[in-house]
Structure 1
C-alpha cells in the first residue's frame, strides 16, 4: 500500500473510534436524561437562593442535556457519512482480488470494538458516581439553606406558642436543631485536655513531648472558622436561650423545629402521666433496689459462664441517674400531643439495655408482616387493590411499650432465638457437607 492508502486506513480507524465514543456518549446522556441527572460539564450554579430561581436553573440544565443529545446525534450522522465516504475511496484503491480489504475491515472493526468497550466502562463509572452524589437543584432547599419568603419556612418552623418570633429567630430555627453554628473562638481548653489525656496513654515521654509541641504549634497558628450565621442570628440564639416561657423541641415526625409554651408542654406531659392505666406513682426511688437486683443477675451470669469478666465490668452499673422523660410534639396529628421518650443515658440499666438491643436486633424483620419504613409500606400498599365493598382501615397503638405484655414478649423472644440458632446450625451442617 502507498502512503495515501495508509492514510485512508488511519482515517477510517480514527472515524471508527470516534463513532464508538460518541455512541457511548449518547447512551450516557440519554441515561442521564431518563434519571433526571445533569452531567458535571452541564451543571449550573444557582446565583439566587429562591425556589423560582432554582426551577429556572434546573429547566436550563434539562434543556442543555437535550441540546447535547441533539449535537451528539448530528456528530454521529456526520462521522458515519465520512466513514462511508472514506471506505468507498479506500476500497477503490485496494486490489479487488486480494484479502487486503478484508484485513483492513477486520482491523478497523477490532479497534472500534476495543474503543467502544473502553468508553462504555468509563461512562458506566461516571454514571454510578453521578447517581451517588448528584442532588437535583430543587431539592437543595434544606433546613441549612431555607427560603424565608414563603411556605418553606412554615415547613421547618412550627410556632405553637404565644411568643412572636423575629425574622432572625425564624431563620436560625429553620436551619434545624442539628445545625452547628461555627464557634466565635476556638475551645483551647478542650484541645489541651484531650491532648493531655492522649499523652497519658503514651509510654514514651519523648512522644508525649512531641505531641504537646505539635498541638501547641497548631493552636498558635489556628484561627476561628468563618461564621456560618449572621450577627443577628447569633443574637437570636441567645434571645431564645434566655426566653424562659418557651421551649424549642424537635417534631415527632420530620425535621421541623417546634416552639411551645412551657406551661402547655408541662400540661400535656402531666396529662399523659396521669393516665393510671399506663403509669403509676412510685412511693420512693427504687434505683438502689434495682441496682442490687441487676448486680445479682450479672453475678449469676458470670458465675454460670454466660458472660466473661470483661462483659461483666462493662455491664456493671456505675452511674445511678434516674431516667428522665421528655416529649416530642406530634404536629402531624390534631391536638399536638407529645410522644414520651425516656432518656436512659447514665442510668443503672443503660449498658444492659445497649447489650440487649444488640442481641435482639437480629431477630427484628424476620416475618412477612414487618415494615421497614414508610417507603417499604408505600411499595407494599401499591400492590393492594381495594374492592368496592372493602374499606382501608388504619389503627394507632397508644402507649405501645408500656402496654406490651412482658411475659408473652419474653416467650416470643426465646422461641425466635432458638429458631435463629437452629437455622444457623442447619446452614453450618449444609456447608460442612
Structure 2
C-alpha cells in the first residue's frame, strides 16, 4: 500500500493511544466537579433535615463517579480492541523497521503526554490539600485578644546598601518589581501595532475555523502571514467600528488615572536616575533587595574569579560558537535528523553574548548572590528549548524526583511505616551546585537517560 496509508494509520493509532492514556488518568483522578453541592431555598435547615440532605448529595456524587468510572472502563476496552486492530493492520502494510520507528515516535509522545497529565494531577491534588488545610486553619483559628499588640508585618524591601531610602521609595518598592505604573501618555505606535496584531488573530481564527485540527511541530518560527480581508463582511464591519471608535478618541487630551501617589511618582524618577544602587528580586521569597553598585560588582567578581568554575577568555567566542553550531545544524538537516521547520527554528540570527547577573540570597549569611546566565538571544537559546523538550518528560522517572511540596508529603507518608520512630529527617545544601557539575558527566548522564527511554531521533 502507499506511504499515505501508513501515515494515516500511524496518526490514527497515535491519537487513539493518547485518548486511551487520558481516559486511564481520568479513572485514577475523578474531577471534583462531580461532588454535588446544592442547598434548597428554605433558609436554614434543621439538623435532621440537613443530615439527610447531605447524605443524599453524597450518595448522588458517588453514583455519578460510579457512572463515569464504568463509562471509562467501557471506553478503554473499546480503545484497546481498536488499538490492537490498527497495530495489526499497520504491521501488515509497512516494513518492520518502519513499524518500530512509528512505535518509537508514539511512545515518545505518550511519555510527554504522561508528564503533562502527572503535572496536572499533582497540581489538582496540591490545590485540594491547600484548600483543606486553609479551611482547617480558618475553622480552628483563634481570635487574637484586642489588647495584644499586633505583630509588625514582615518587610518586603531589604536594603543592603549603605544608602538610606525615603518612605516614598520604600512604599514604591514594596509594590514589587512586577508592578506596572500607569504611563502618562498613550503610545500611538504601540496602540496601532496592538490593534493590527489583534485584527490578524481574529482573521486567522475565522480563516481556519473549518479546518481539521493538525498536530503542529513543537519547534517552528512563527508565521507572519496575514489572511485576506473582506472574507466575512460582519467581521470587517466589526474591525472598522473598533478602529473608528479608538481613532475618534483624542488620546493627547485624555487624562489617565495615575495609579501612583505624587510622592511615589517622584520616587520612581529618583530611583531610575540613581547609579549607585542595584535593585533585584531576592533569590527566594518575594522581597525586593537594594544593593550598592560596588557591593554588587564585588560579589560578582568574587564568584567569577574562582577559576575552578570559570575560565577567563581573551576574546568573545560568540561568533566562533555561532558558526560551529550552525554547521552542526546544517549537517543534521542534511542527514534528515532535523525537519525543515526545526532547522529554521534552531538556526542562529543576530546572536549576542549571554548575560551574567546575580540574585541576592537574603536567607544566607553575608547575602551571597546566586549566579544566573541569561541566554536570551545567545547562540544556545533555542537549542536549550529543543534539548529540554526531550529531557523534561524523563524527570518524573528518576527515583529521587519530587514535583512539589504536596508530592514530597505524599512520598513521606508512603514510607512512614518503613522509617523507625527514632529516625530524624535531615537536609543538606550543595554550594554552587550547577557550576560544580562537570559538563562531560552531565552530557553522559543525559545521553544515558535518553538511550534508556528509547529515544531515536534526533540521534544522541
TM superposition score category, shorter chain reference: 0.5 to 0.7
- SS state at 2:359 partner: strand
Partners of 1:295 and 1:336 lie apart in 2 by 40
- 8 Å Cα contact 2:157/2:288 also seen in 1: yes
Q: Flag the 1:186–1:219 CA change in 2: closer, same or farther, 3 A.
A: farther
- SS state at 2:259 partner: coil
**Equivalent position of 2:193 in the other structure:** 193
- 8 Å Cα contact 1:161/1:260 also seen in 2: yes
Query: Which of residues 219, 229, 245 in structure 2 aligns to 1:217?
Result: 245
- 8 Å Cα contact 2:280/2:360 also seen in 1: yes
- 8 Å Cα contact 2:37/2:57 also seen in 1: no
Partners of 2:244 and 2:383 lie apart in 1 by 40
Q: Flag the 1:170–1:150 CA change in 2: closer, same or farther, 3 A.
A: farther
**Equivalent position of 2:153 in the other structure:** 152
Partners of 2:301 and 2:283 lie apart in 1 by 18
Q: How far apart are 1:195 and its partner, in Å?
A: 3.6
Partners of 1:421 and 1:370 lie apart in 2 by 20
Q: Flag the 1:353–1:113 CA change in 2: closer, same or farther, 3 A.
A: closer
Superposition CA RMSD, Å: 4.3
Q: How far apart are 1:214 and its partner, in Å?
A: 2.5
- 8 Å Cα contact 1:321/1:347 also seen in 2: yes
Query: Which of residues 332, 338, 351 in structure 2 aligns to 1:301?
Result: 332
**Equivalent position of 1:355 in the other structure:** 386
1:278 aligns with 2:309: yes
**Equivalent position of 1:419 in the other structure:** 452
TM-score w.r.t. structure 1 length?
A: 0.60
Counting matched residue pairs gives 310
- SS state at 2:397 partner: coil
Larger CA deviation: 199-208 vs 307-316: 199-208
Q: Flag the 1:116–1:392 CA change in 2: closer, same or farther, 3 A.
A: closer
Partners of 2:379 and 2:244 lie apart in 1 by 39
Q: How far apart are 1:294 and its partner, in Å?
A: 0.4
Post-superposition Cα deviations, 1:131-183, rounded to whole Å, max 9, x if no partner, equal 799988x99xxxxxxxxx963242x1111112222222212211211122233
Gaps of at least 5 residues in structure 2 are 1-35, 65-126, 139-149, 201-224, 456-460
1:174 aligns with 2:174: yes
Q: Flag the 1:181–1:296 CA change in 2: closer, same or farther, 3 A.
A: same
Q: How far apart are 1:379 and its partner, in Å?
A: 5.5
- SS state at 1:283 partner: coil
Which runs of structure 2 are paired with 1:39-58 in the superposition (5 Å)?
A: none
Q: How far apart are 1:202 and its partner, in Å?
A: 4.2
Q: Flag the 1:393–1:417 CA change in 2: closer, same or farther, 3 A.
A: same
**Equivalent position of 2:183 in the other structure:** 183
Partners of 1:77 and 1:355 lie apart in 2 by 61
Query: Which of residues 439, 444, 455 in structure 2 aligns to 1:406?
Result: 439
**Equivalent position of 2:280 in the other structure:** 249
Structure exhibiting the larger radius of gyration computed from Cα positions:
1
Partners of 1:416 and 1:284 lie apart in 2 by 35
Larger CA deviation: 397-406 vs 210-219: 210-219
Post-superposition Cα deviations, 1:385-432, rounded to whole Å, max 9, x if no partner, equal 5776x765533223322322223322322222232238xxxxxxxxxx
Partners of 2:327 and 2:301 lie apart in 1 by 35
Q: How far apart are 1:295 and its partner, in Å?
A: 0.8
Q: Flag the 1:378–1:273 CA change in 2: closer, same or farther, 3 A.
A: farther
Partners of 1:79 and 1:371 lie apart in 2 by 42
- 8 Å Cα contact 1:249/1:257 also seen in 2: yes
- SS state at 1:291 partner: helix
Partners of 1:201 and 1:306 lie apart in 2 by 31
Partners of 2:383 and 2:267 lie apart in 1 by 41
1:204 aligns with 2:229: yes
**Equivalent position of 1:371 in the other structure:** 402
Which runs of structure 2 are paired with 1:120-135 in the superposition (5 Å)?
A: none
Q: How far apart are 1:184 and its partner, in Å?
A: 3.2
Q: How far apart are 1:186 and its partner, in Å?
A: 2.6
Q: Flag the 1:236–1:216 CA change in 2: closer, same or farther, 3 A.
A: farther
- SS state at 2:435 partner: coil
**Equivalent position of 2:349 in the other structure:** 318
**Equivalent position of 1:84 in the other structure:** none
